[in-house]
Structure 1
């Protein structure tokens, strides 16, 4: 990974870490489907403003079906699930559970491509990460357990979508891919948002949170994300999940007075250690034999 890619990864992590804070502020006043639609709508508007002089929508010609699938898998479904989860879970914990996405990526990649078969240290990494996920989810109960499982659904969607995008969107500019998927996702979720629109005017804080989600968390972030996939590859791009929980925990603690528990930190450590091994970022070294 180049220095430029590393910088993009860091900025993207800071933006998406803040997204969990904005979601929490949004679902305090709006239904999750409305927050998801607002995020998609404002993100699409930003990208649409950048489109003139950059090839228009021509690069998407003949790619409508994969763009719709990507919009559902990478935006509509996970955005709604995240909003639902944060009505029951702290924003920081939600980000920590979502950190399981690279584990799912490794497992799914091995099913798609036989050369990516999980074995050795990578298999150990998947197992360690799985233990971390079980620890994080297992301590929840009632509605919180359902919310934690919903976040696992988000992680699975993101893992599947990054692999899908790497195969179907190759060679298409990041701007067009981002605009296409956000617009399709907005259309898909709009009927639910319309049915669940608020009866009274929500506070300005909630509106600003939704706008920030769209402009930063969707518009700018997805431009960076797909550019990173194109430059560094899907397996490197998903590593954004390493840094997002740390930013989200800090934001949640500072701005929402959320408590960082020992269980959350232990689960995060296991998930990230497992991810490092499963993706090959870290390797198990055999113990040296004294001579």
Structure 2
């Protein structure tokens, strides 16, 4: 990985880590559905001007059904679940629990493809990761448990989505796929969001957070991610999974005065360690370290 790629990876991690901060600032003032709609609309607005130079929008027409499914399952629903969760638990904790998504992906892949059996260290990794998730959910109290489970559901949505996208969007460029998903997601969440619009304009800070969430987290971040894949490969780009929770915890502690608890740190180590084993990042000594895309 070149210095440029490493820099882009850190920048992408910092942006996606900040997304949890922006969600928290947004849902403190307006309903999660409104935050989601704003995020998706701004994301489309950022990416749309790039389409004419990269194949236009016509190819999207042949993929409307899978894009509609992904718009709901990869955008509208998980974004709403994250917003709902952050009305009850800290942004940093939300990011840590969501980091379990690759573990769900590996587990679900074995159900879809019988050849993708999980044995040895990968099986151990799944177990370790789930111990981390159970720990973080188990230490919550009252409504916080529901919120933590909502984040687990988010991770599951992302896992199902990445497997579904891999089977249904072959032949569609990443930019068109991103625009199509975001637009479909906006259509899905629009009825609920419009019904829950506040009677008065929210504070400028909340509006700025939603705009930043859409422009950075759902717009520029996609471009950075695809640029890293093109330059360094998907096996390097997936390393963002391991960096985002740390950034989110840092932002939450410094900017929102969220406590960094021992349970959050232990859970982070277990989830990321389990993910490293389950996805093949961690290998036995003497073997080459690789990352499964």
Q: TM-score range by the shorter chain?
A: over 0.9
The aligned runs of 1:183-198 (5 Å cut-off) are 183-198=183-198
| Alpha-carbon displacement from aligned partner over 1:117-147 (angstroms, at most 9, x marks no partner) | 1111100000011111110110012110000
Greater alpha carbon shift after TM alignment, 57-66 vs 206-215? 57-66
Question: 1:162 and 2:173 equivalent?
Answer: no
Aligned residues: 285
Question: 1:14 and 2:17 equivalent?
Answer: no
- Distance between the aligned counterparts of 1:28 and 1:176, measured in 2? 32
Report the RMSD for the aligned CA atoms in angstroms.
Answer: 1.9
| Alpha-carbon displacement from aligned partner over 1:234-269 (angstroms, at most 9, x marks no partner) | x76544221110000011111111110001000100
| Alpha-carbon displacement from aligned partner over 1:186-224 (angstroms, at most 9, x marks no partner) | 000000001100111211000000000010010112233
Matched residue, 2:119: 119
The TM-score with structure 2 as length reference comes to: 0.91
> Secondary structure of 1:177's match?
helix
Give the deviation of 1:110 after TM superposition.
Answer: 1.4
The aligned runs of 1:98-177 (5 Å cut-off) are 98-177=98-177
Question: 1:70 and 2:70 equivalent?
Answer: yes
Give the deviation of 1:12 after TM superposition.
Answer: 2.0
Greater alpha carbon shift after TM alignment, 167-176 vs 119-128? 167-176
- Distance between the aligned counterparts of 2:279 and 2:201, measured in 1? 46
- Distance between the aligned counterparts of 1:229 and 1:71, measured in 2? 22
Give the deviation of 1:153 after TM superposition.
Answer: 0.6
- Distance between the aligned counterparts of 2:157 and 2:134, measured in 1? 18
- Unmatched 5+ stretches in structure 1: 287-291
Give the deviation of 1:161 after TM superposition.
Answer: 1.3
- Unmatched 5+ stretches in structure 2: 287-293
Matched residue, 2:291: none
The aligned runs of 1:247-286 (5 Å cut-off) are 247-284=247-284
- Residues 244 and 159 of structure 1: CA distance in aligned 2, closer, same or farther (over 3 Å): same
The aligned runs of 1:38-117 (5 Å cut-off) are 38-117=38-117
